[in-house]
Structure 1
């Protein structure tokens, strides 16, 4: 019985202790909340109160991670980082951006001067080597006949002007009649000279004309000679073949000078001029560079590739280059004949609607300027309006300055709105 009476007493005591602990915890929580509320009220009062004489006045607090978020009182972000105070003496002048010098140095902000220069760039293209059309000749006959015997039997052979190419048998009665006229005349008289000139019109060699005038009679077999020095590129003529007057029997090309026909993009054609220097590189000859000049710009456009053709004259005195070789070309082109103002392309922030550069004014102050752009050449871009020669523009760290500019603009608008209220 005694034991049964003690158990309810112990349970009652335990209940009293639990209820007392809960009450004590609630009281401590209320007390802590009251203290915190008092501290926050004091901070707000301190922030709103005017700064004492000689103290720096805080305008607002900004996000420590650079987010567009500000506060009129001290606070922390989601990661527990304190917001950074912005003081009145740090505010930038209207239309400029002020960045602390130490921040500029940490971010590696660099500048470059606006300078006057002639912008030039290399236009890239590719093409093939071809024969120089102005150095191509054809050996033919001005009468009907047959090929009696070839003196030059294969393509690719080099010949010199006047060298025998083949002997032919003359079929034309007209030519045979003119030969007979010359044979019947005395050498040296005027009529004989006219008869000899008639044979020259048919490209009868001088040796054959002299033999007819001296010995009399006519010769149905004559020799046809090379009309120029060069390489035999085509040879339709074969032993025993019949040919008609004017038929091409040999094609001879002087390969000491070639053409490179280069295709360039349509948008670059306006920058190409006759006489511009061109460097040529051939996959078949790695490491070698050949020089040439633009000699002609073709008047037509390839509609499928939207490209134009440019002709470049290439010296080939040693015959090292062959027609048909593929070439890569670089054409040195000036965007303008006169110097223009230019800055590095990295200095320009282009959002599609505006183009802006930041002009450095010293002591961490930067001024955003709207600019009008011109042509681009390598890592430079023309500035037609907005800056003056010699001014320093930001080339590295532009996005940091741009972010600061946008943030300060937003904060200024917030501050102005607060003052209106």
Structure 2
């Protein structure tokens, strides 16, 4: 905030009422606060306004008293507020004197309250405040914002060069664990059978491939086994080899385990019961087999799933779907096991959107050697959508985004800042990609750029006032 804005607000409010309240005014540490003695008042210069004796932000253009009867403190011109260390003196030199002394030439004087009033010579306003000189070059229309070194230091303006960096944009989304559909096995009979015995296996038990599950008797299996045994015997004395292969295939079509067929070939006897074994390593999800029961063709007796590899089904928000691609790395953390992380890649992007949650589902395959990831378990996923290529980028704080336009301040040195419109891309890791409008190595303002933007808007407004008054 500059002296002109404060003065403009004070003038407008003083004209409307005898007392105004100004927020954000800070008096220099050297200004004395308190009543002035009569002897000092005779030597003090004429006051330009009066302030509350306690230093509160209450002002009056004429002498007045507080509600408790104390006089307002007179404020002389020398104690007026100034925020610029390079502010002009109380009585600036005339244009002729400035030109003769070799200093910068004064073009005109503007109203100290920021009103649209200028003068070619020094003058005072109605409150006795001096008009502020405007030097040549101060109002140049070259598109740059100029700040003094003192103002740059006070506002904390800092610059950083644009550079090429690898931007990692993480998409975070919740998900659930699901079984791999390709690793589920169902044990069902293909012919009418009777269960003679069931192994000590229950739902939730872990079984290994080839482990016995039950013993069954099936008339169809026994008939096929007798036929195959007869074929084997005849083949040894010159039988039809092709017919023998067909007999064995019949046993395989009845889903008889390979171990049982091998036992028939070795023993050369027709078994009264067949031992049924587990087709894969996994956990028993379903057990319907009961000793003595009769099983019709198609009846499911066991369902076994391999948990060593599972799926993570992740629900990504619709707005983030455009950044997701197959093959991107996925890091999954289970809420039940903090500190553990499971890695995978995006395998499938399902071609549908949930109309209720407006999310898209993607699938990642995860290794689960410890079998701690269970079906329907909740997980949190992070998808790295970065390309791995270095792109031109600047810190997030350097970009002023209005929604439809983005701009940065380019530091040209010596307090000259150039506002420039840019086109941005991905964000991540505190940086934003700049696709257009900036070159590699150009320094941009990364802090206090909103203060710089306010300063540039203020100067543009004051310049507009001065040009209107001159016209």
- Normalized against structure 2, the TM-score is what? 0.70
1:348-386 CA-to-partner distances (Å, cap 9, x unmatched) read 223345322111111111111122233333432222322
Describe the superposition over 1:4-40 as per-residue Cα deviations: whole angstroms up to 9, x where unpaired.
xxxxxxxxxxxxxxxxxxxxxxxxxxxx9xxxxxxxx
Question: Structure 1 residues 47, 213: closer, same or farther in 2, change over 3 A?
Answer: closer
3-state SS in 1 of match to 2:197: strand
How far residue 83 of structure 1 moved from its aligned partner, in angstroms, is: 6.8
- Does the 8 A contact of 1:62 with 1:85 survive in 2? no
TM superposition shift of 1:141: 1.8
Equivalent-residue separation in structure 1 for 2:193 and 2:209 (angstroms): 23
**Partner Cα distance (1:363, 1:316) in 2:** 60
Residues 179-198 of structure 1: pairs in structure 2 closer than 5 A: 179-184=225-230, 187=233, 189=235, 190=241, 191-192=243-244, 194-198=246-250
Highest relative contact order (Cα 8 Å, sep 6+), 1 or 2? 1
Q: Who is 2:61 aligned against?
A: none
After superposition, the Cα gap between the structure-2 partners of 1:304 and 1:268, relative to the gap in structure 1 and judged at 3 Å, is: same
Q: 1:60 corresponds to which residue?
A: 109
Of the structure 1 ranges 364-373 and 194-203, higher mean CA displacement relative to structure 2 is found in 194-203
Two-structure CA RMSD over aligned residues (Å): 3.3
Distance in structure 1 (CA, Å) of the matches to 2:368 and 2:169: 27
Structure 1 position 257, deviation (Å): 1.6
Deviation at 1:150, TM superposition (A): 0.9
User: Does residue 166 in structure 1 map to residue 166 in structure 2?
Assistant: no
The secondary structure found in structure 2 opposite 1:313 is strand
Q: Does 1:99 find its partner at 2:147?
A: yes
Which range moved further: 233-242 or 248-257? 233-242
- Sort the Cα spacing of 1:47 and 1:188 in 2 relative to 1 into closer, same or farther, 3 A: farther
Equivalent residues in 2 for 1:347-362, closer than 5 Å: 347-362=398-413
Whose Rg is larger? 1
- SS of residue paired to 2:194: strand
Q: Distance between the aligned counterparts of 2:274 and 2:132, measured in 1? A: 105
Q: What residue is the counterpart of 2:394 in the other structure?
A: 343
* More moved, 318-327 vs 89-98: 89-98
Residues 316 and 208 from structure 1, CA distance in 2 versus in 1: closer, same or farther, beyond 3 angstroms?
closer
| Cα displacement (A) at 1:103 | 0.4
Q: Give the corresponding residue for 2:431.
A: 380
Match 2:224 to one of 171, 178, 194: 178
Q: Do the aligned partners of residues 209 and 391 (structure 1) sit closer, same or farther apart at CA in structure 2, a change above 3 Å counting?
A: closer
Q: Work out the CA distance in 1 between the residues paired with 2:211 and 2:438.
A: 70
Whole-angstrom distance in 2 between the partners of 1:399 and 1:210 = 83
Q: Number of aligned pairs?
A: 373
Deviation string 1:318-354 (CA, Å, 9 cap, x unpaired) is 22332222111111111x5654322222222233453
Q: Does 1:231 align with 2:283?
A: yes
Asked if structure 1 preserves the Cα contact closer than 8 Å seen for 2:109 and 2:131, the reply is: no
CA–CA distance in 2 between the matches of 1:222 and 1:167? 6
Q: Which residue of 2 aligns with 1:39?
A: none
2:331 aligned to which of 279, 282, 285 = 279
- Tell me: CA distance 1:60–1:274, structure 2 relative to 1, closer, same or farther (3 Å): same
